[in-house]
Amino acid sequence: MSSSGVAPKRIGILGGSFDPPHLAHVALGQAAVVQLGLDGLCVVPTGQAWHKARVLTEATHRLAMTQLAFADIPQAWVDPRETRRAGPSYTIDTLRELCAEFSQAEFFLIIGADQAQALTTWQSWQEILQSATICVADRPDLTRFRAVFDAEKAYPERFFHLQMPSMAISATDIRSAISTHQNVTALVGESVARYIADHHLYLSS
């Protein structure tokens, strides 16, 4: 729950591997809080990602780094439920649980354009649309026009487009840079960079 201790009424859900979390993730969270008027931002590190072949970094590290990354957003809290769930981790399971816990809240699922494009392949995607407004981070660096996705064509009233600055930051590139001992503080922030260094994460074996 958010730092105020009061049950939030407008909750954004921001999921991801956060391996590691970086400044573009934080900027997306901040944009969502402002543009959607959120009083809660639930940040959910992925457990066993059904769509990723790569083995993720240990959950305890990703949770700790995500806590550090989002520490300056007072509406945000990091939710560990997906990392504790056995088997593949699906958004609909998390959404069902949160809807039950915060039965009076309105939910906003924050995703990237690539995820929005694939939304109709997600588990129980139509139920997701019924349970939350889909908030897509527009990427001005990728397209000069706003993409309309298959699910959005069918349910336009369930979509909202977040305006985002152009931030060419990739967790894949960050991991690669760390493996060659490059400084990534400008990409992940000082506290996360220090945690990565202290725990010797992402170094080539």
Q: Where are the domains of the chain?
A: 10-166
Pairwise CA distance, residues 182 & 162, whole Å:
32
Pairwise CA distance, residues 195 & 183, whole Å:
13
Q: What is the pLDDT of residues 101-158, one digit of tens each?
A: 999 999 999 998 888 989 999 999 999 999 999 999 976 555 444 556 788 888 999 9
CATH fold group of domain 10-166: Rossmann fold (3.40.50)
SS3 at position 161: strand
Nearest to 76 by CA among 145, 119, 149, 21: 21
Exposed, middle or buried by CB within 10 Å (0-12, 13-18, 19+), for 35? Answer: middle
End-to-end CA distance of the chain: 38
Residue 144: what pLDDT?
Answer: 40
